[in-house]
Amino acid sequence: MGIKKPWVAGVAAASLLCLASAGESGAPVSDPLRKEAHRTLSGTVTNLKDGMLSIRTEEGTVRDFSVKQLEQTENVAEIKLGDRLVLELDENNMIIHVDRLGESTPPHQTVAGRVLRACVGVRAPADLGRNCPDPAERSVTLKLPDGTTQTYHLKMPASVKMLSIEPGTDVVMEIDEDNNLVMDFHVRK
């Protein structure tokens, strides 16, 4: 009774090829899937209490997060009730970047490389054997295609995603231009 749709396999294969070809040079690269995987929402700060803030988005949802986290990882300070913000969300609906509405920001830089070590900010099985001196550290060290290594610090959403990444995995990371933190990454196939 089921109808077979061979074109679905073709679309899936083409998508994987696009992902695999993104950023093979290792220099800063563009990630063509990012614009499709990420979305932006504008919203208004509706509550500011006890170090937490709430934003009601244009969709009518309310997103809550720490003012301290926002001020430490974003170029947004002195938040007040009524402020209009733009949230960038990843494919998992996690907030990865925040700007004030109307501020223009340059495109995020992307960097490709192979994961040598990842510290994800918690003592978890993913940290075992990764030689993370500080259990609160959130960073990833990459081997770049030119043979050099570079360590980048991770925003919280990227560190959560990094829990499932093993050393030796090829990734394309998206770097926040405001603070040089990794805001998101995608595994290269």
Task: With CA atoms as reference, report the closest residue to 113 among 140, 144, 141, 139.
Answer: 144
pLDDT tops 80 at residue 115: yes
Q: Which helix (H) or strand (E) element contains residue 10?
A: helix 6-21
pLDDT tops 70 at residue 130: no
* Rounded distance between C-alpha atoms, residue 68 and residue 73, angstroms: 9
Interval 162-178: pLDDT, tens: 888 989 999 999 988 77
pLDDT at 172: 93
pLDDT tops 50 at residue 8: no
**Arithmetic mean of pLDDT over the chain:** 75
pLDDT at 123: 56
Reported pTM: 0.64
Strand pairing report for 170-175 and 39-49: unpaired
* Rounded distance between C-alpha atoms, residue 188 and residue 16, angstroms: 9
Interval 60-73: pLDDT, tens: 999 988 888 777 77
pLDDT tops 50 at residue 13: no
Rounded average pLDDT over 83-87: 90
pLDDT at 171: 95
Q: Which helix (H) or strand (E) element contains residue 148?
A: none
- In order of 16, 17, 187, the CA distances from 9 in angstroms are 11, 12, 20
Amino acid at 46: T
The better pLDDT of the pair 135, 56 is held by: 56
Interval 22-56: pLDDT, tens: 333 334 444 444 455 788 889 999 999 988 999 99
